[in-house]
Amino acid sequence: MAANESTHHFITLLPNTIHSLTHSIALMADHQALLSSNNPIRFGIIGCADIARKLARAMSLAPGVTLYAIGSRSIDKAEKFASLIGVSGTDHEIIKLYGSYDQVLEDPCVDAVYLPLPTSLHIQWAVKAANKKKHVLLEKPAALNVAELDQILEACRSNGVQFMDGTMWLHHPRTIKMKDLISHSNKTFGQINFIYSTSTMSVSPEFSESNIRVKPDLDGLGALGDLGWYCIGALLWAKDYQLPTTVQAQDVTTNCTGVILSFTAAFHWDISSNNTAATIHCSFFSNTSMDLTISGSNATIHTNDFIIPYQEDSASFELSCGAMFVDLHIGWNAVPEEVSVDCELPQEALMVEEFSRLVRGVVYDGVQPNCKWPEISRKTQLVLDGVKRSIDSGCKLVQL
């Protein structure tokens, strides 16, 4: 066959090939949709913390998901929580209420569990859940330290169950859009030189001494775990999860039991990672802020609400490219562009949907659990541990 005949033969077949491929993709999508509706992933919630109300709502919004069971330390607490999320008495035949955590894990109909427990209890109940073949959606911070997290991840790996931590903002379409802009392949943004992030909230004096999030036996990491997890995660996300070379904490405030209430930390990546520098500030003493600024050699992106968007159905960020002063330095050549991104579902529902999609692949298609999310959690925990070591050493520089 001549070269031109071969080319012609390929061209005449291509439309049929495309049609066949498109048809196959459509069938796969229909299959997944049918599988989701006929076989929803059945969640059990273990622990009735306030954040669990948000996730219960997310489960009602996410396709292919159902809240199947609620477990608390007593049946009264489970019933009270069910009432708070709008579960009526007639719904109890659909949503099981249990007066212990173990009963949820023993229920053979539960596919996955969401664990909004104090951090000190994560290792016990996440490992128990994995050993009972329940897929694990674990509230952040994932653990008190990486040694505990490694035990959780090993239990999930050895039992073939999916793991994901509850960092919701990573699942927002705005996050995906920002990532496209700062990626290495985008020459418009250039090299990332500096990252700045805050997570702050103003609490009462009673909170800083007695809230679960500042009790050494429950959430001993305090602001480092509760707030720092987000900021550290944002730095790693921006840097494609390359670990910084060094970290150093400063300006640390603790309560009377030694739990961290406020801190600042500086990070540095070596020359192999473009010598990027970063600073985070996390505090229970300042007005609410959730800032993220990423400065590149050619552009900057900034958002004030990266953890929880101002609105559920859309979120925005500022993009500034090629900024410079005008003549006499009396102004700028341009104002930042506001980039808005619509969101069909709240970010927590998108997180539940993605987690359930991965679980469905394991349960119904026999695929291996996805390793991306466990790796993200572990790297975040590693850097968090580095900040803790710096704080414990009197704010010395720590090599990672």
Residue numbers annotated as active site: 140
**What is the Cα–Cα distance from 23 to 20, expressed in whole angstroms?**
5
Nearest 10 degrees: Cα torsion 368, 373, 376, 381: -100
Task: Determine if residue 338 is left, alpha or beta; phi over 0 gives left, psi from -120 to 50 gives alpha, anything else beta.
Answer: beta
Cβ–Cβ under 8 Å, residues 265 and 277: no
Strand partners, 399: 246
The CA–CA distances, whole Å, from 261 to 51, 282, 382 equal: 20, 8, 20
Strand partners, 65: 41
Residue with tokens 């009963």: 103
List own/partner pairs for 331-335 with CB under 8 A and 24 or more apart: none
Give the angle 228-234-239 at the CA atoms, nearest 5°: 130
Cβ–Cβ under 8 Å, residues 139 and 116: yes
Element (H, E) at 332: none
DSSP class of residue 51 equals H
